[in-house]
């Protein structure tokens, strides 16, 4: 049975729905937000396809995936965080992305910590990674705060990424 929600003091992490398309569009078109992560979506239709082929498909196939991250106080979705199985390297990754007005508030670490616990306790994952472009200092800091250590530089998805990792 898929876990539909996680909570922290400030955040609620829940499954994505099609109602989240506008926030996904914002996250996937802001050049600062996707600088180290992705190519921008061209339009809302491409955004819908990414949502359906990404988190929504992962929920069905693996029983887990990225969560929409809401501020408890307002219910506003401000980004995503969660565990994604990467079939290309046969490992699960903790990943996240947030609207830039929420950067620097500890939200990335707070959400990632509860996801690491979920990976360990609910999913029984033994090894968890985070793929990070070497210039992405903020994400490296989050990985280090989680207790991850720097592993190899790997070439994946057309880029070189540091593989931070931890045993759970």
Q: What is the per-residue DSSP string for 84-112?
A: EEETTTTEEEEEEEE-GGGTTSSHHHHHH
pLDDT in tens, 48-73: 999 999 999 999 999 999 999 999 99
CB 116 within 8 A of CB 94: yes
pLDDT value of residue 1: 56
* 55 vs 17: CA distance, rounded Å: 9
pLDDT value of residue 33: 94
pLDDT value of residue 149: 98
* 26 vs 47: CA distance, rounded Å: 10
**Which CATH number applies to 5-125?**
3.40.630.30
For residue 82, pLDDT beyond 70: yes
Model confidence at 2, pLDDT cuts 50, 70, 90, reads confident
Nearest to 36 by CA among 142, 152, 121, 167: 142
Domain extent listing, the chain: 5-125
* 16 vs 88: CA distance, rounded Å: 23
pTM of the full structure = 0.95
Q: For the residues 86-104, what does the mean pLDDT come to?
A: 96
Provide the mean pLDDT of the chain: 96
């Amino acid at each position: 049975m898929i876990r539909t929600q996680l909570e922290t003091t400030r955040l609620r992490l829940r499954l994505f729905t099609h109602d989240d398309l506008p926030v996904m569009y914002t996250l996937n078109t802001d050049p600062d937000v996707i600088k180290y992560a992705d190519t921008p979506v061209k339009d809302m239709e491409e955004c819908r396809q990414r949502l359906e082929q990404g988190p929504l498909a992962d929920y069905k196939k693996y029983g887990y995936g990225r969560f929409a991250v809401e501020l408890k106080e307002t219910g506003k979705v401000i980004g995503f965080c969660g565990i994604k199985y990467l079939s290309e390297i046969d490992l699960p990754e903790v990943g996240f992305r947030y609207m830039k007005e929420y950067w620097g508030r500890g939200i990335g670490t707070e959400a990632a910590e509860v996801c690491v616990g979920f990976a360990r306790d609910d999913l029984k994952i033994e090894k968890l990674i985070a793929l990070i472009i070497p210039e992405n200092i903020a994400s490296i800091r989050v990985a280090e705060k989680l207790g991850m250590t720097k592993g190899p530089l790997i070439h994946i998805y057309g880029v070189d990424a540091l593989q931070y990792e931890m045993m759970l």
